Amino acid sequence: MYDPVLQNARKPKGYDGEKTLERMNEHHAPLVKWGLSYLNILQNAKILDIGCGGGATIGELLNRYENSIVDGVDFSEKSVEMSKNFNAKFLGTRCEINQGDAANLPYENESYDAVTAVETVYFWQPVEKAFSEVFRVLKRDGVFMILNEISDPQSQWKDKIKGMNIYTPQQLCDILKSIGFVNVEFYQGERENICVIAKK
Domains parsed from the chain with CATH numbers: 6-199 (3.40.50.150)
Mean pLDDT computed over 39-45: 90
Task: Report how far apart the first and last C-alpha atoms of the chain are (Å, whole number).
Answer: 40
Question: What pLDDT does residue 173 have?
Answer: 98
Angstrom distance (rounded) from CA 129 to CA 112: 18
Angstrom distance (rounded) from CA 198 to CA 45: 16
| Average pLDDT across the chain, whole number | 93
Angstrom distance (rounded) from CA 132 to CA 200: 11
Backbone angles phi, psi at 93, to 5 degrees: -120, -60
Torsion of CA 57, 196, 148, 117, to 10 degrees: 40
Angstrom distance (rounded) from CA 115 to CA 25: 18
Give the burial string for 5-25 (b: 16+ CB within 10 Å, else e).
eebbbbbbeeeebbebbeebb
pLDDT at 167 over 60: yes
Mean pLDDT computed over 186-192: 93
Question: What pLDDT does residue 157 have?
Answer: 79
pTM of the model: 0.95
The neighbouring-strand residues paired with 91 are: 95
Mean pLDDT computed over 161-173: 92
Question: What pLDDT does residue 98 have?
Answer: 97
Angstrom distance (rounded) from CA 50 to CA 127: 13
Question: What pLDDT does residue 163 have?
Answer: 82
Angstrom distance (rounded) from CA 83 to CA 60: 12
Mean pLDDT computed over 16-43: 91
Residue from 142, 145, 115, 146 nearest 199 by CA: 142
C-alpha to C-alpha distances, 146 to 23, 89, 172, nearest whole angstrom: 20, 26, 9
Model confidence pLDDT, tens digit, residues 53-101:
999 999 999 999 999 999 999 999 999 999 999 999 999 999 999 999 9
Q: How confident is the model at residue 3 (pLDDT cuts 50, 70, 90)?
A: low
pLDDT at 35 over 60: yes
